[in-house]
Amino acid sequence: MVSESGLEGLRILLVEDEYLPATEVADMLDALGIEVIGPIPDLEGAMAVAGRETFDGAILDVNLRGEAVFPVAEQLLARNTPFLFATGYDEWVLPERFRDFPRLTKPFDKLSLERMTLRMLERSSRPTEAG
């Protein structure tokens, strides 16, 4: 059964380096009616997919096999695709320019995932301050 989340039919990239949490989040997204791109476990793979595919948003684990996910975030920022961080790190550990982005604190449940995904999409639909 697909819930009435307003998220049905969206395509979301999922980047997460651990197998079990990755499959669990993918299942949650699936239950929200979201089509999952990935999950992708490493930076190289994520960069490739981010450069190749089109999608509505991305959920990014911060630490990928010892590498930071920020190059992917930069790429998404450049092409105006919204994203959120899913991490166990406190926000001050993130580089300053990424501290204001939506963040899901691990572990999280389906409801938090749904809310934060909605917030991520709302943010992107607002006109940019610089614009």
Partner 1 sequence: MRRDDLIAAAIGGALLLAGQSAFAQNADEIRKGIEQYREMLQDGNPADLTVAKGEALWKTKQGPRNASLEQCDLGKGPGVVEGAYAELPRYFPDTGKVMDAETRIVHCIATLQARDVVALTSKPFSGGGQPQTELEALVAYVVEESRGHPVNLPQEHPEEIASYRRGEKAFFYRAGPYDFSCASCHSADNQRIRLQDLPNLTKAESAQRALEAVLSSISDGFMTVDRNWRFTRVNAKAAAIAGMTPEAMIGRRVWDLFPDTVGTMLHRQANRAATKRVAVEFEYFCPRLDRWFEYRIYPSAEGLTILENDVTARKEGERRRRLLTAELQHRVKNNLALIRSLSTRTLRRAQSLEDFAETFEGRLHALAVAQTLLSRSAAEEVDLHELLSEELLPYDAREGDNLSIHGPVVLLKPKTAQLLGLVFHELATNAVKFGALTTGGRIEIGWTIEATKEGQLLNWSWVETGVPAVSRPADAEGGFGRDLVERGVPYQLGGTSRFEITGNGARYELRVPLTENVGKLRLTDLGPV
Contact set with partner 1 (CB under 8 A): 17-25, 27, 39, 41-42, 63, 65-66, 87-90, 92-93, 105-108
- Rounded to whole angstroms, the Cα distance separating 6 from 127 reads 21
Give the residue carrying structure tokens 């963040």. 103
For partner 1, which is the closer residue by CB, 56 or 60? Answer: 60
| Min CB(56)–partner 1 separation in Å | 24
Return d(Cα 82, Cα 74) in angstroms, integer: 11
Nearer to partner 1, 42 or 81 (CB): 42
Of 2 and 93, the one with the shorter C-beta distance to partner 1 is: 93
Nearest to 61 by CA among 7, 27, 107, 97: 107
Q: Give me the least distance between CB of 123 and partner 1, in Å please.
A: 24
**Tokens 């699936």 sit on residue:** 30
Give the strands of the sheet with 35-40, arranged side by side.
Answer: 35-40, 11-15, 57-61, 83-87, 103-105
Kindly state the smallest distance separating residue 88's Cβ from partner 1, in Å. Answer: 3
- Give the residue with the Cβ less far from partner 1, 29 or 56: 29
In the complex, the smallest distance separating the C-beta of residue 74 from partner 1, rounded to whole angstroms, is 22
